[in-house]
Structure 1
Amino acid sequence: MTDIIFLAVPASAIIALAFAFFFFKQMMRESEGNDTMRQIAGYVRVGAMSYLKQQYKVVFIVFMVLALLFSLMAYFGVQNPWVPFAFLSGGFFSGLAGFFGMKTATYASARTAHAASKSLNQGLQIAFRSGAVMGLVVVGLALVDISAWYWVLDYFIDDNEPGHKLIIVTTTMLTFGMGASTQALFARVGGGIYTKAADVGADLVGKVEAGIPEDDPRNPATIADNVGDNVGDVAGMGADLYESYCGSILATAALGASAFALNPEMQLKAVFAPMLIAAAGVLLSILGILLVKTHENADMKQLMSALNRGVNLSSLLTALAVYGILYGIELHNWLGLSSAVVCGLIAGIIIGQGAEYYTSHSYRPTQKIAESSATGPATVIISGLGIGMISTALPVMTIGAAIMASFLCAIEFDVQHLLSAENLSLGLYGIGIAAVGMLSTLGITLATDAYGPIADNAGGNAEMSGLGQEVRKRTDALDALGNTTAATGKGFAIGSAALTALVLLASYIEEIRIGLLRLGQTTLTFTHGDSIATQQAGFIDFMNYYQVSLMNPKVLIGMFLGSMMAFVFCGLTMNAVGRAAQKMVEEVRRQFRDIKGILEGSAKPDYARCVEISTQSAQREMLLPSVLALLVPTLTGVVFGVAGVMGLLIGGLSTGFVLAIFMANAGGAWDNAKKYVEEGHLGGKGSDAHKACVVGDTVGDPFKDTSGPSLNILIKLMSMVAIVMAGLTSAWSLF
């Protein structure tokens, strides 16, 4: 009966992909506007696809090298032989999700601009439903991948020991998350460097030096800027959240398999539960997408309310559906575990609303940043840094509350025996279920994020095509909304990454157990002489065996290394943007100087050269931070063993989470402070206040679109690398 219920997972995936195709075809039937609009959209489309092609060439080489390494490890018995295939599968589907989303976005921008010339609601509908293609493709492909791998591994893996087969199946499935994480990191870092190099170059020379509007066709970097929005914020975000979505489902399934290992019937239900919750979330996300609409002359709050209506309704219905699903499959403590899912959903909404409050120019924090422009760009930057730091409090407290609440719900509030072996396993499973709950409505929450760059490109197309003030006013409203939804989406992505990474910590111990059994170590002997069978050992037993405590210098060193990684990674990506932006600034200045008539509009800029500079810089600069993220967990395991790796993952998770929230919110607030001035406040466009806010926005660009979003991939990738390398770590370490 349970196996039949599992068919709902691939069925929901097919429905999601069918609706994605429907929305794509619906968008393609709309007019792309006049010849100029089609030409500009064509430049952006060609540039985006050209960049993605170059990136996939680099990523292909990296993936082949890593797959060969995993194959060698499997040959020598320290790695599961399925890992190389799972790794390649995860990377392929992650890249495919980003490709489909970006392809849709590059076709949607001109159509959104043309629709906005008719009404605000038509522009919103096309942009949002095109963004929904990204969301539905991500969840659809993820559930297809999960379903296929479960059937394949269930068929081929043969293990007669009761309860052990599902542990092997789920932990093997989890390893395809490393492929997805690796692909996502290259997409995020490379795309982030590309887009911000172009954006900073376009703003500094175009707006500040030449005094021309944003997206003015006279600016040589404007096409590269529009291309960057697609490769960074659509392809990058899609690959990122594909990995989060898969990681949370599979890590929770692995924990369920471990927690109920002695009860095979309940074990299967615990493995299927996160997949069924995700399937329900997919269907209810589609309903929410269909409900998003607004009226003409809507202000920022009303536009945001239109999007929130769809997101909140999907979340509410998913919460109700979860109770029915877990009750229907008769899962152990179904009421408590359903409540844990609700904890995750509520946490996701609170984090999103908090990001909206601190980044939307409808609220005081961002307005205060804009008002600080009266004394120049320095105070804009100081104010934005302060707001970004303060904004970390709410998400951190929310995640803390969600962790404790979901843990307690899963153990039926048995506080007296909080950390008993059984309660710890059930509590960690509850936290995993909460992470699945937070991501269960990803179909619509990712749509609100992918909507942003589509609206931004639509505004650029309207400006370059000279569609008039009324159209530009509508596209500016959609763009400002997109900045807020992007900040909300980034906060949501980082919050889900924190819960997912925490669950992956527990999954790491399961991989260590399997690695020891593969090496023939069937018992754990503690320092005081007692022993326990490796197969029967709980989390606390492994913590004691490897001496994972704050008094162990290996754990402390690992924690410092993890915290350091968050800052070093940000430093590398920020400097990469700086170097690439310098080249862009020099090129734009050269064209203004050497190509006579650009500023007068009588000569055409060399857009292709700017696209080429961004492409080359991104390909070169993305390698070091990405490779570092792969090497550090591996070397930490080889040198400091399991204790050092646990410290590394805890340090990277805690520091990376807070730093990512700070950077995303500070960058979003600076961006919308500029938009607030451009709407006519404090002197409007061209005023000293506007120039000061442009500088703040320029500083914030790599914060919110390069370093900040990449951090949530970093903390998950380090966990995934640790899991995949667990066999090597359990076999040998220096200390």
Structure 2
Amino acid sequence: MGLLLLAPLGSIVALLFAWYLSRTVLKKSEGNDLMKEIAKAIREGANAYLKRQYSGVALFFAVMFVILLIIALRGYLVIFVPFAFLTGGFFSGLAGFIGMKMATNANARTANAASESLNSGLRVAFSSGAVMGLVVVGLGLFDLSFWYYFLSWWYRALPEAARIQNVTSAMLTFGMGASSMALFARVGGGIFTKAADVGADLVGKVEVGIPEDDPRNPAVIADNVGDNVGDVAGMGADLYESYVGSIVATSALGVAAGYGVDGVTVPMIMAAVGVVASIIGTFFVKSGEKAEQKTLLKALRRGTYVSAGLIVIISYFLVTSILGKENIGVYFAILIGLLAGIIIGLSTEYFTSDSYKPTKELAGTSLTGPATIIIGGLSLGMLSTIVPVVVVAVAVLASYFLSGGTESFNKGIYGVAISAVGMLSTLGITLATDAYGPVADNAGGIAEMAHLPEHVRERTDALDSLGNTTAATGKGFAIGSAALTALALIAAYKDEVDLIVKKEGLSFNMDLSILNPTVLIGLFIGGMLPFLFSSMTMKAVGRAAQNIVFEVRRQFKEIKGLKEGKQGVKPDYAKCVDICTRGAQKEMIMPALLAIIVPIIVGLTIGVNGVAGMLAGSTVTGFVLAIMMANSGGAWDNAKKYIEAGNHGGKGSDSHKAAVVGDTVGDPFKDTSGPSLNILIKLVSMVSVVFASLVLHISLFK
């Protein structure tokens, strides 16, 4: 219990350093009056969107709270689950909200700092991203620590083994709240940002022939708002949920493996160590004035590698002192998770960055029109799934056997789960490099709209281009961690079922054989689920984007002098923001509910064996489909930027127009459907765990 105090202390340290960084950023100047005006419009749009989203999501949480409370009162759940569900959702939403507020306050400051030097712009954008990363880990550790200490006190009369088992079993279920909020944030934010982006590009770049972020484009403010509500608030809620989910799943599996309190202590302290390592890493992020991709990328990587190196050293002493040198395999599982995260990130970068062959070749296919660049992007995305799948497979196998899987199945599965914690241990700084992207993107837009000098635009363009790469790498990292976390949650689901059966004396044995018809049916349903979900989210973006296209066309047609850029003539930015907001709120409901309803229906009809099959099916296809979509979208985006840099005809050429079409296809791939699949495969697991007792009692198939 003594060492576990480091978890709440780590939470406090993370939140205090995030506060310090936020004060440092906010002391910077926003620039001239026009820059302040643009930044204010983006802030107001983002605040209005999140206010409407959180109002709608609050209603969902109220209904779910009542349902969970009724189930708990009937004896199918621990009474704390409905309340833990609320706290999980609240802190997940709060992490995203704080990150979004910081990003919308840092965009103009980044553009203005870039007028001083490239390094100044990088530091402001990265610091705002670090606020997001540290808030996510800080709030996550706070929520975990609160429930651990409260539940330990509540079950204090029980023997230690029974107490820890009850504590971890109850904690496992509150991840459902975090997952639910994350899915709403990701889907809603993704629909908003891509509807605005697609609408702005199709009319502005292709039809009218004006530059990106041109102030004449009515959808330009909505596009900048979308970067924040989708890629900052959505990503924050997403990785908060992965972070918390991996720790609670590992804690629960640690009890099953026979480690008791020590099995809970290791992942919790790993998270606290990760906070300190991430903070130290932030001080190593700095660059010179050479505005090259590789130079800037090296600056960001330096911080991440320093943090990872510290984790490698400290976790050795942590594992050997808590679990003993005889369990040194757990340490190697942590290293494997760290290494797997780095390799998946590098693989994503290779397939999506215009510094490498795949994206350069993809840009070349634009010379023969939109069809060939779309075919090339789909092919590239499919090919890019090989490395992450092999890496995760090797990580699972190695973690399982090194942690003692040959002598104990539960010890091996604990090793797989702890490797996910290892991968996410540097989340504070990894998320900072991801959240940095939208800030840099907004800074470039503000520099364009405020007509800042050319050298400033060159610097913000360099920061923005780097942001595309870090965002793609961040998505790869998020997907990889989601796969490992989902595998840990499937194992935790099996343990939860076994625990309920033993506790209530039920006559039931899990049969997870591939020849069991219910498992096979579950596999097919689970395999289909990511495709159905992606179809719904893609169509949602398409419908919302159509409305933006019509509105932008209307304004160019009806507002005299807008297309020509006459002085004093301004588009109606607010109208496009409102269309995106209303569209996103309406369209996000069904995809989000799908992840909650399907596991319950499957459980009540074909039982817990069918649910286990469904979880396996959705994890496999969801993981592969998410990688393919994220990498195709990232490659299309950077192929367009490669052409805009003066290759294959440059801006305004036919190849550029073809690349813009490819990019608009890729937008919902990489920023809506792809990243939302991370949450889908974890949320179905969380829902399955929460409703396991109910399914065991009233399912048609026992």
TM-score tier (shorter): over 0.9
Gaps spanning 5+ residues in structure 1: where? 261-265, 526-544
**Cα distance, 1:661 vs. partner?**
0.3
Q: 1:458 aligns with which of 440, 443, 452?
A: 443
Contact 2:291-2:459 within 8 A present in 1 as well: no
| Letter of the 2:265 counterpart | F
| Letter of the 2:244 counterpart | C
**Cα distance, 1:13 vs. partner?**
1.0
Matches within 5 A, 1:526-541: none
Does residue 717 in structure 1 map to residue 702 in structure 2? Answer: no
Q: 1:293 aligns with which of 286, 299, 308?
A: 286
Contact 1:6-1:276 within 8 A present in 2 as well: yes
Does residue 308 in structure 1 map to residue 274 in structure 2? Answer: no
Separation in structure 2 between the aligned mates of residue 158 and residue 295 of structure 1, nearest angstrom: 56
Separation in structure 1 between the aligned mates of residue 190 and residue 323 of structure 2, nearest angstrom: 45
Separation in structure 2 between the aligned mates of residue 76 and residue 517 of structure 1, nearest angstrom: 19
**Cα distance, 1:687 vs. partner?**
1.1
Matches within 5 A, 1:230-629: 230-260=228-258, 266-331=259-324, 333-411=326-404, 418=406, 423-517=408-502, 520-521=504-505, 524=507, 545-602=509-566, 603-629=569-595
Separation in structure 1 between the aligned mates of residue 379 and residue 403 of structure 2, nearest angstrom: 38
Partner of 2:222: 224
**Cα distance, 1:688 vs. partner?**
1.1
1:681-708 CA-to-partner distances (Å, cap 9, x unmatched) read: 1111111111111111110000000000
Separation in structure 1 between the aligned mates of residue 242 and residue 297 of structure 2, nearest angstrom: 25
Contact 2:22-2:131 within 8 A present in 1 as well: yes
1:27-52 CA-to-partner distances (Å, cap 9, x unmatched) read: 00000000000000000000001100
Matches within 5 A, 1:613-692: 613-692=579-658
1:322-351 CA-to-partner distances (Å, cap 9, x unmatched) read: 001112224473311111100000000000
Gaps spanning 5+ residues in structure 2: where? none
Kindly tell me: are residues 159 and 660 of structure 1, through their superposed partners in 2, closer, same or farther at Cα, counting changes over 3 Å?
farther
Matches within 5 A, 1:60-209: 60-158=58-156, 160-209=158-207
**Cα distance, 1:162 vs. partner?**
5.0
Which secondary structure state, in structure 2, belongs to the residue aligned with residue 78 of structure 1? coil
Partner of 1:530: none
Which secondary structure state, in structure 1, belongs to the residue aligned with residue 77 of structure 2? coil
Partner of 2:694: 728
1:479-525 CA-to-partner distances (Å, cap 9, x unmatched) read: 1110110010000000000000000011112222343355x316x46
Separation in structure 1 between the aligned mates of residue 649 and residue 254 of structure 2, nearest angstrom: 58
Tell me the TM-score normalised to structure 2 length: 0.98
Point out the more displaced range, 721-730 or 266-275: 266-275
Separation in structure 2 between the aligned mates of residue 610 and residue 72 of structure 1, nearest angstrom: 42
**Cα distance, 1:627 vs. partner?**
0.6
Separation in structure 1 between the aligned mates of residue 417 and residue 49 of structure 2, nearest angstrom: 36
| Letter of the 1:446 counterpart | L
**Cα distance, 1:158 vs. partner?**
4.8
- Give the root-mean-square deviation of aligned CA atoms: 1.1
Contact 2:475-2:630 within 8 A present in 1 as well: yes
1:246-284 CA-to-partner distances (Å, cap 9, x unmatched) read: 000110000001111xxxxx4111111001111111100
Contact 1:171-1:507 within 8 A present in 2 as well: no
Partner of 1:214: 212
Does residue 706 in structure 1 map to residue 672 in structure 2? Answer: yes
Separation in structure 2 between the aligned mates of residue 158 and residue 555 of structure 1, nearest angstrom: 39
Separation in structure 2 between the aligned mates of residue 333 and residue 654 of structure 1, nearest angstrom: 33
Separation in structure 2 between the aligned mates of residue 146 and residue 614 of structure 1, nearest angstrom: 35
Which secondary structure state, in structure 1, belongs to the residue aligned with residue 242 of structure 2? helix
Separation in structure 2 between the aligned mates of residue 516 and residue 401 of structure 1, nearest angstrom: 33
Point out the more displaced range, 334-343 or 565-574: 334-343
Report runs of 4+ in structure 1 exceeding 6 Å deviation.
none
Which secondary structure state, in structure 1, belongs to the residue aligned with residue 648 of structure 2? helix
1:423-452 CA-to-partner distances (Å, cap 9, x unmatched) read: 110000000110000000000000010000
| Letter of the 1:203 counterpart | D
Q: How many equivalent pairs are there?
A: 699
Tell me the TM-score normalised to structure 1 length: 0.94
Which secondary structure state, in structure 1, belongs to the residue aligned with residue 78 of structure 2? coil
Contact 1:78-1:515 within 8 A present in 2 as well: no
Point out the more displaced range, 164-173 or 187-196: 164-173
Percent identity of equivalent pairs: 59
1:194-226 CA-to-partner distances (Å, cap 9, x unmatched) read: 000000000000000000000000000000000
Point out the more displaced range, 242-251 or 676-685: 676-685
Kindly tell me: are residues 573 and 271 of structure 1, through their superposed partners in 2, closer, same or farther at Cα, counting changes over 3 Å?
same
| Letter of the 2:559 counterpart | I
Separation in structure 2 between the aligned mates of residue 160 and residue 586 of structure 1, nearest angstrom: 65
Which secondary structure state, in structure 1, belongs to the residue aligned with residue 408 of structure 2? helix
Which secondary structure state, in structure 1, belongs to the residue aligned with residue 212 of structure 2? coil
